[in-house]
Structure 1
């Protein structure tokens, strides 16, 4: 079995991404990151998150990643373009609110 923590550790070191910054982005301590590198069964969610942060694709090293991502994509329903769904309108409202706040900041500040 592949040691997921070692694979992630190697990818992080190769990327040159600072451990301190990675810990900050994960809202964890540096110690937690080093302990994570020792975890042979690191969760696929965590691996995908780290891959996103360091801009690295683990599909070649970790076999389960590709099927896991496919399962996530198939099970997720895309609400972004469904006007009949309240989630669509909520997201649209939040986006407009953020844009409005940015305009206010520019005008006031």
Structure 2
């Protein structure tokens, strides 16, 4: 896999747009962008924003852009050719339902953890 930081640096250099202008547009500092140049993989959103500023499409430069997703809600979706648009919509809605269920389960676990923590605080420090 190509070193994405170096690809980004080269594209910026070839664009002729100054680093100062790019960091001002991104709202970051110069040291931050120089650190990004040293990273092997970069955040998809960051690369997209830089591409918009310099007018460059990085999708041809990177073999795979890493999208920012939460690992516990990542779903693999296989799209199969379908006959009608209606059945295709129902197939595409299935992963959303699974993700929503996963998020609800995580929320329930988080609430249970908070309640257990509150009980522990009451045992240790007593009621106020």
Normalising by structure 2, we get a TM-score of 0.49
Matches of 1:3 and 1:43, distance apart in 2: 13
Q: Give secondary structure in 1 for the equivalent of 2:42.
A: coil
Partner of 2:3: 3
Partner of 2:18: 18
Q: Give secondary structure in 2 for the equivalent of 1:10.
A: helix
Where structure 2 has 5 or more consecutive residues not aligned to the other structure, the ranges are 68-91, 93-128
Matches of 2:7 and 2:56, distance apart in 1: 11
Note if contact 2:5-2:37 (Cα within 8 Å) is conserved in structure 1: yes
Partner of 1:34: 34
Matches of 1:41 and 1:63, distance apart in 2: 11
| Deviation, structure 1 residue 64 | 2.3
Matches of 1:42 and 1:4, distance apart in 2: 6
Matches of 2:30 and 2:8, distance apart in 1: 15
Q: Give secondary structure in 2 for the equivalent of 1:42.
A: coil
Q: Which runs of 4+ in 1 moved over 6 A?
A: none
Where structure 1 has 5 or more consecutive residues not aligned to the other structure, the ranges are 69-74, 76-109
Task: Give the paired residue count.
Answer: 68
Q: Give the aligned CA root-mean-square deviation in angstroms.
A: 2.0
Matches of 1:38 and 1:17, distance apart in 2: 20
Residue 54 of structure 2 is aligned to residue 45 of structure 1: no
Matches of 1:44 and 1:2, distance apart in 2: 15
Please identify, of 56-65 and 45-54, the stretch whose mean Cα deviation from structure 2 is larger: 56-65
| Deviation, structure 1 residue 44 | 1.2
